[in-house]
Amino acid sequence: MFHLLDIIGTMAFAMSGALTAMNKKLDPFGVFIIAFVTAVGGGTLRDVMIGRTPVGWMLDLKYVYVIIVGFLLALLFRKKMDKLRKSLFLFDTIGLGVFTLVGLEKGINVGLHPIICIAIGTMTACFGGVTRDILCNEIPVIFRKEIYATICILGGIVFFSIKRLVKSKSKQND
Amino acid sequence: MFHLLDIIGTMAFAMSGALTAMNKKLDPFGVFIIAFVTAVGGGTLRDVMIGRTPVGWMLDLKYVYVIIVGFLLALLFRKKMDKLRKSLFLFDTIGLGVFTLVGLEKGINVGLHPIICIAIGTMTACFGGVTRDILCNEIPVIFRKEIYATICILGGIVFFSIKRLVKSKSKQND
Amino acid sequence: MFHLLDIIGTMAFAMSGALTAMNKKLDPFGVFIIAFVTAVGGGTLRDVMIGRTPVGWMLDLKYVYVIIVGFLLALLFRKKMDKLRKSLFLFDTIGLGVFTLVGLEKGINVGLHPIICIAIGTMTACFGGVTRDILCNEIPVIFRKEIYATICILGGIVFFSIKRLVKSKSKQND
């Protein structure tokens, strides 16, 4: 299940990155790089900090393919997606939620403290978008729209509580 | 002793980050993130580059607590601190000096060459502030006020010479 | 041979960084830091992501010396070099080409997939310059001049094909 979430988040962030870069009028190569960095940035930071190297996307070509698909979709359906994106912040929200969960899961696997896991989840979710905004020379949107980051932290706390409950139950069953 | 220095530096940088972010009129969440990143940024870069993963602050909740205290202090005593900060660059200077020493110590522990240790100390000290300024979309202050970085390099050289002296003496005593 | 290429690329990027920083009127310390970061940035990112820590330049003082020489050359022959640089993008182009090859080689050594190796080569080549531009608060030049990045990807593909050919031949000879 976490695997599927990872794919969905990667796709959502790749599209979000590509759309932002196109609005900045970068050339196609620049658009692809921004899409790539937005999609893998958070996961790369997380893997590097917890010591899972080589980082995830290097060991599995699937991520590269997903990003290419997201990039092409953004290129082809730019206008429709731009509308969705502006009115709903659709792709960012999906990506944030999904990547928070994935980041939490990885933190738990390494055996870190719940609070640290929430920090890792938040970073995984936010870092791609922050890098995108820095590369495009803007103040990161995350610092201007607190609601999304707050949601993603709360989501993390909820997730961790559930996870813990499930774990303690499965231990009782053993 | 290095442990205490690490705490002092973390607190100083957390306050420096929070004050800068408040002056940029970020929302509370943004202010906390900037405080967090300013405080742990240098140490994270250092740990990742020398291969100490998971990075230091992930293994010890103390850093998170210290940053929260620094963040709250900055929030509560904003006006008083802002005055101290502007006239003396107080928090930056404390953080720079202290983090240079901590970075040096870690480099020595991994057995790197003195010159590299000084580079690591300088980076540990400067990177948090550089990230803070990039996130707030300014040219990093370190590149505009050479005096602080120079102090921190000189401090490193002095420290290393003393350390070496102490070591060679303790070897003689063995 | 890759060792020599690494030295040439480091020197070229150190000069490119120093010249950019001088044009931004940074003080000498700032100029040196930008030269240093431009020269080691790409390799640091690469080593950290594939898990070769401590990163390359920490284990070998040669890089520090080469950067100091590049920094001094840029300081002394600023005007002549600035002309060369503007008309030919000389240093960037040399650095890009050379670092793509070096990055590819390291990726192959870790046993990663060819496509990932090309991505690593591209990142090694581009990241130093991107960091330089972000530190100087500009939209990275790489996103405005697609030609260079495209060249560096194509170069990577060519290199990998040749490398593969050579390997399969040497296996036949065994």
Angle at A30 between CA A24 and CA A36, to 5 degrees: 105
How far is it, in rounded angstroms, from Cα C100 to Cα C85?
20
Distance (Å, rounded) from C-alpha B157 to C-alpha B162?
9
Shortest CA distance to C52 belongs to which of C60, C40, C44?
C44
Tokens read off for C19:
């010249």
Tell me the pLDDT band of A124, cut-offs 50, 70 and 90: confident
- In B, which residues are within 8 Å of A113 by CB distance? 61
| Conformation bin of residue A145: beta by default, left when phi > 0, alpha when psi is -120 to 50 | beta
Residue B10 to residue B3: CA distance in whole angstroms: 11
Model confidence over B79-92: pLDDT tens digits? 777 777 665 566 77
Q: What percent of chain A has pLDDT over 90?
A: 11
DSSP state of A56: G
What is the model's pLDDT at position C65? Answer: 93
Cβ-based contacts under 8 A for chains B and C = 61
> pTM for this one?
0.81
**With a cut of 70, which residues of chain B have pLDDT below it?**
1, 85-90, 138-154, 156, 165, 168-169, 171-174
Residue of B131, B143, B147, B148 to mutate, testing the C interface (most C Cβ within 10 Å of its Cβ): B143
Q: What is the pLDDT of residue C145?
A: 58
Rg of chain C on CA atoms, in Å:
16
Which C residues in the span 75-114 are in contact with A, Cβ-Cβ below 8 Å?
110, 112-113
pLDDT (tens digit, 9 = 90+) per residue, C50-59?
988 888 888 8
Collapsing DSSP to helix, strand or coil, A116 comes out as helix
CA distances from C71 to A1, C37, C42, C65 (A): 51, 12, 18, 10
Spatial neighbors of B3 by CB under 8 A, at least 6 apart, are none
- Cα torsion A146, A149, A153, A154 to 10°: value is 60
Q: How far is B49 from chain A (nearest CA, A)?
A: 10
Written as one letter, the residue type at A146 is E
**What is the sign of the dihedral through the CA atoms of A96, A101, A106 and A110?**
positive
Give the model's pLDDT for residue C95.
Answer: 79
* Residue A146: predicted pLDDT: 53
Question: What is the reported pLDDT for C124?
Answer: 81
Q: What average pLDDT score do residues A92-114 get?
A: 82
Q: Which of A33, A55, A64 sits opposite C49 (nearest CB)?
A: A55
Q: Do B30 and A116 touch (CB under 8 A)?
A: no
Task: Return the structure tokens found at B63.
Answer: 């850093």
pLDDT band, residue A90 (cuts 50/70/90): low
Q: What are A51-67's pLDDT values in tens digits?
A: 888 888 888 889 999 99
Q: Are A48 and C44 in contact (CB under 8 A)?
A: no
Tokens of B170: 């303790």
Per-residue pLDDT tens digits for C73-108: 988 888 777 777 665 566 777 777 788 888 888 888
**pLDDT at res. C71:** 92
CB contacts of A48 in chain B (<8 Å) are 48, 53
Decide if C138 touches B, using CB distance below 8 A: no
Q: Where are the alpha helices (DSSP H) in chain B?
A: 2-23, 28-50, 62-76, 78-88, 90-109, 114-135, 146-173
Report residue C110: phi and psi, to 5°. -85, -5
* Residue A2, min C-alpha distance to chain C (Å): 22
Is the pLDDT reported for residue A101 higher than 70?
yes
Give the minimum alpha-carbon distance from C85 to chain A in angstroms, rounded to a whole number. Answer: 22
What are chain B's partners, defined as 3 or more CB pairs within 8 angstroms?
A: A, C
The secondary structure of chain A in percent helix, strand, coil, rounded to multiples of 5, reads 85, 0, 15
| Rounded mean pLDDT, A151-163 | 69
